[in-house]
Structure 1
Amino acid sequence: MTSRRLLFALALSGLGTLACDPAAGIADKKPETPTPDTVQPGTGWTLIWQDEFEGPAGTLPAKEKWAPDVGGDGWGNGQYEFNTARAENASLDGEGALAITARRERYGNNDYTSARLNTKGRFQQAYGRFEARIKLPTGRGIWPAFWLLGADIDAKGWPECGEVDIMEHRGQIPSIVTSTLHGPGYSGGQSVGREHAVGGGTLQADFHVYAVEWEPNRLRFILDDTVFFEATPDTLPAGKKWVYDHPFFIILNVAVGGSYVGPPDAKTVFPQTMKVDYVRVYEKATP
């Protein structure tokens, strides 16, 4: 995919510098208490952070966990939407999910609105399992994503900080999901990743679990129970640096347009909503 992160990285740089200790996290590291319906991803994992998005319809995402990125300058990738902090674009649906909604409306000199949420300054983690259960939107020009960005972005910039796209999706290709790594010398159109096609239907028809299991020198990308891409330092182009050895924070967003998906067309129906049932982060349990 093309370089879509530069302006976003610059915007984030004003939010404060975070520590780079691989063992450190902003949030309290005591284990979370799983809710009764929390399904563990197998043995050997300890839940350390979660948002189950429980609450009344129209409630804004928990400010102690999420911060909105606000703006409409294209985010370095020619995106069409203005990302807002409004409940109309990101709020709880009252049924246990977060709804991030892209709308066709004039706002801030843009023709569309949507939202982008991140945990920078609230939660960061090196290694473990990051997962979200998501029902994707659809339509040409609709670009949902669940991804991680290096918490040392203020000190190192992008792509030196590293980026892990756990899930991104072109709304016009309903059966394919993509996972991608961006780092120094392999970013934008030279990124390292893989597409994965699901059989028997489309990704928009139901919720799916998108996850990465991250350990030193290895990232495994998972859709439901299928590992479809595994990356190690040997996966990178010759001589390029592996930068996935320090804390990253979480981002959820729905973009409209941009060089990765192209513009919406007359058949794209608005509003389009990405539903997020939960986001959970685990670390390997101590033997």
Structure 2
Amino acid sequence: MKRTTWLLAAVLIVAGCKTATYTVKDRYMYVQKNGREQKKWQLVWQEEFNGPSLDTAKWTRIQPNKADWGRHMTDKGICYDMSGGLLYLKGMVNPDTSVDKRPFLTGGIWSKGKFAFQYGMVEIRAKLECAQGAWPAMWMLAETDKYGGYPKNGEIDIMEHLNYDSIIYQTIHSYYTLTLKKKDVPPHHGTAPFKRDDFNVFGLKWYPDKIVYVLNGKETFTYPRLKNVDPSQWPFDQPFYLLIDQQLGGSWVGKVDPETLPVNMIVDWVRVYQ
């Protein structure tokens, strides 16, 4: 009986190894195995936000930084709430400027150093509230710094929304697009209409030769890997981590109207497939 049990366990282990869709580097970077591009996606990582507080094994609250998007970020609890299986990332007027002089505060999370992946599909179900100066975003940055400082490792913007727009922006940034100004060969961004007053599923499918944006299950924009161009066109061959944040203000979105605040990005779940 013991021998039979041992053999069954061995078979299950071998079968599990054969069906694995990824290898894990440094215990948190999920790299999709070669040859899976045309096979059925399998769920490899998820966050349902069902707990009483943010899972710090998966996420870190984003601290303020000097980038246009990060000037109002805070890791203070005032801009974060979890209830009913939903995460609320807030953009608000700073209620106390006696210590922190910034007029606004915003909440955001990233998986840097805790979860990253290379190739696969990511989907994020969320509702975007509107306000003048609101700039919610879901995006990805390189975990491993393979090619050097920003923008050489690239940036993948899953979704950005401005003010009261009825569309979202889906964009690729890199040394190729930003420094060499190759924004049209190939086109590096697209837009898509979305359900502004409801939950939507924002996402993309990331392959070794293209990035395909998806909104509510429909493909909307594709950024292909080109041959015979500057190699900086495709830095997307390394693990990337996730950022989800409710930004306020900046040169692109414009000034913030405090009368329209607070504003929330309400996140239901995040799922990654390979």
TM-score normalized by structure 1?
0.75
1:49 counterpart = 2:39:
no
Equivalence for 2:119: 127
Q: In the TM superposition, what whole-angstrom CA distance separates every residue of 1:215-263 from its partner, at most 9, and x where no partner exists?
A: 11111101102211011123x9953521111100000111110012011
**8 A Cα contact 2:45 2:271, kept in partner:** yes
Q: Please list every run of at least 4 consecutive aligned residues from structure 1 whose deviation after the TM superposition is greater than 6 angstroms.
A: none
Aligned residues: 235
**Residue type matched to 2:60 in 1?**
A
Deviation of 1:212 after TM superposition, in Å, equals 0.6
**Residue type matched to 2:141 in 1?**
L
Q: Structure 1 residues 145, 28: closer, same or farther in 2, change over 3 A? A: closer
Deviation of 1:265 after TM superposition, in Å, equals 2.6
Equivalence for 2:90: 101
Q: 1:221 aligns with which of 213, 220, 226?
A: 213
Deviation of 1:102 after TM superposition, in Å, equals 0.7
Highest CA radius of gyration, 1 or 2?
2
Identity of counterpart residues, as a percentage? 28
Q: Distance in 1 between matches of 2:109 and 2:204?
A: 19
1:91 counterpart = 2:85:
no
Q: 2:62 aligns with which of 51, 69, 84?
A: 69
**Residue type matched to 1:231 in 2?**
Y
Equivalence for 2:168: 177
Q: Distance in 2 between matches of 1:115 and 1:245?
A: 29
Q: Structure 1 residues 237, 149: closer, same or farther in 2, change over 3 A? A: farther
Deviation of 1:140 after TM superposition, in Å, equals 1.6
SS for the counterpart of 1:148 is strand
Deviation of 1:87 after TM superposition, in Å, equals 2.2
Q: Distance in 2 between matches of 1:66 and 1:138?
A: 25
Q: Distance in 2 between matches of 1:178 and 1:189?
A: 21
Deviation of 1:197 after TM superposition, in Å, equals 2.2
Q: For the aligned residues, what is the CA RMSD?
A: 2.5
**Residue type matched to 1:165 in 2?**
D
TM-score normalized by structure 2?
0.78
Deviation of 1:86 after TM superposition, in Å, equals 2.1
Q: Structure 1 residues 119, 104: closer, same or farther in 2, change over 3 A? A: same
Equivalence for 1:9: none
SS for the counterpart of 1:219 is strand
Q: Distance in 1 between matches of 2:254 and 2:179?
A: 15
